[in-house]
Amino acid sequence: DQRIRAASWDSGEGAFREGGRWNSKGVRTVYCALDPATAILEVAVHKGFKILDTVPYVLTAARIADIAEVHVVKSDVVPNLNWLRPGTPSAGQQAFGDDLLRRHRFVVIPSAVSSHSWNLIFDSVKAGGSYSLEFQEPFALDTRLHPPS
């Protein structure tokens, strides 16, 4: 998260206003990665390494109280495998995600940025009290990822 938005890391406001890969506009959704490397790639694919190098970011870690509340979506149950590839999400993809979010507190789904990585999505209102903030720490991009021209 950008440092200026660190306090509202779990608001889902951006996804609520714009929609996302797994949610329609108006559906409050928090997007996370299960590991820091995937989180960095997810930001870089949308914002670029320059932003990660020049704008203060924080790395946020949260803990889910009961792992049994996490629903894992494997690629073989996704109706359209193109949904797991980079690109603009379809209305069907967003509706699929909306349904998952209605039925489950937490959803783990393959990342489009790396097929061997995983993202976690949740609605912070529905999941309230089921997770906690572990820590937030300043993020510093390895400068080799944004070399001089």
Cβ atoms of 123 and 47 closer than 8 Å: no
pLDDT digits (tens, 9 = 90+) for 46-68: 899 999 999 999 999 999 999 99
pLDDT of residue 115: 86
pLDDT in tens, the chain (149 residues): 999 999 999 999 999 999 999 999 999 999 999 999 999 999 999 899 999 999 999 999 999 999 999 999 999 999 999 999 999 999 999 999 999 999 999 999 999 999 899 999 999 999 999 999 999 999 999 999 999 98
Nearest Cα residue to 62 out of 137, 131, 108: 131
Q: Where are the domains of the chain?
A: 3-139
Cβ atoms of 137 and 56 closer than 8 Å: no
Angle, CA 118 vertex, CA 15 and CA 37 arms, to 5°: 90
